[in-house]
Amino acid sequence: MALEKIVIATRASRLALWQAEHVKETLETLHPEMQVELLSLSTRGDEILDRSLSKIGGKGLFIKELEHALLDGRAHIAVHSLKDVPYELPEEFALPAILPRGNSCDAFVSGQYANLAEMPAGAIVGTSSLRRESQIRARYPHLVVKPLRGNLDTRLGKLDAGEFDAIILAAAGLERLGMQDRIRTVLSPEDSLPSAGQGALGIEINKKRTDLLPILQPLICAQSTARAEAERSVSRVLGGSCQVPMAAYAEILNSADDASEETLRIRALVAEPDGSVVYRAEETGPAKDARAMGERVARDLIAQGADQILKRLDQQRHD
């Protein structure tokens, strides 16, 4: 019997609701006979705002409540920002669809300055990300970096209230909500290497719900999937999360009718939180080898000494 209704689990933030609504509209276009509804849920990651993610358990806190809804049958699918999805899912779940990717880069937002280079010594930059913080500290050690939590509107409100001179956000979120005019500069990957999966949307399901796979198949973007596989394989080998200053960014260098002929470039880094040491690695090769390329880049970083940073930070978290 064909499914007559699909319920999408989503976080309650404005950006998450936009993302879920985008998937809802896509499914309704593909399957006009099907009813599609949203189930809005609050997550611990949204509720705990007085501590950094690295201190309260990581990005997985943004998806646990949604996964509960998948298991108990309240929802059929969950829509996530892919960068919030741990590189290893619990065995009950699958990630069958990665959608066409938005802007992967970070955005510099400020009412006073045009870019990071223009900011004077002692100016305050807000970010929730150790990845962003370490790269800013490496290039601009004269700036003060302070933690910034909350949803997009909360973060912008703190900037506008004068708590920060500038903040760094994901460009995709601002663009999706029609707030691209707040972006003073889009930071290039050379300036701020993005997080694995940044700008991409992933759809998670209960692994038992194989009946959903044909419905979701038309949503899959092969290029976005290859890029995500390369980036997430870096995280998998390194054990990376928001608790580690690491980045992984893959791009398709040439589009081809035959996907097997596409070329992919993967860049990654691991840094000391204070930016004093930054290990970098990259590889270019066939996109069909995306996962293996990501693994090799991760092993290159380990060979340089990145594992010592990772081990020390992991020990500090458990002390």
Active site residues: 84
Which amino acid is present at 273? P
The whole-angstrom separation of Cα 110 and Cα 264 is: 33
Report residue 296 as tokens. 């090799």
Q: Where are the alpha helices (DSSP H) in the chain?
A: 14-30, 44-47, 53-56, 64-72, 130-139, 152-160, 171-176, 213-216, 222-238, 290-304, 306-318
Closest by CA position to 224, among listed 256, 240, 203, 201: 201
Whether 200 contacts 231, CB under 8 Å: no
The whole-angstrom separation of Cα 154 and Cα 169 is: 12
The whole-angstrom separation of Cα 182 and Cα 233 is: 33
B/e letters for 23-35, b = 16+ CB within 10 Å, e = fewer, are bbeebeeebeeee
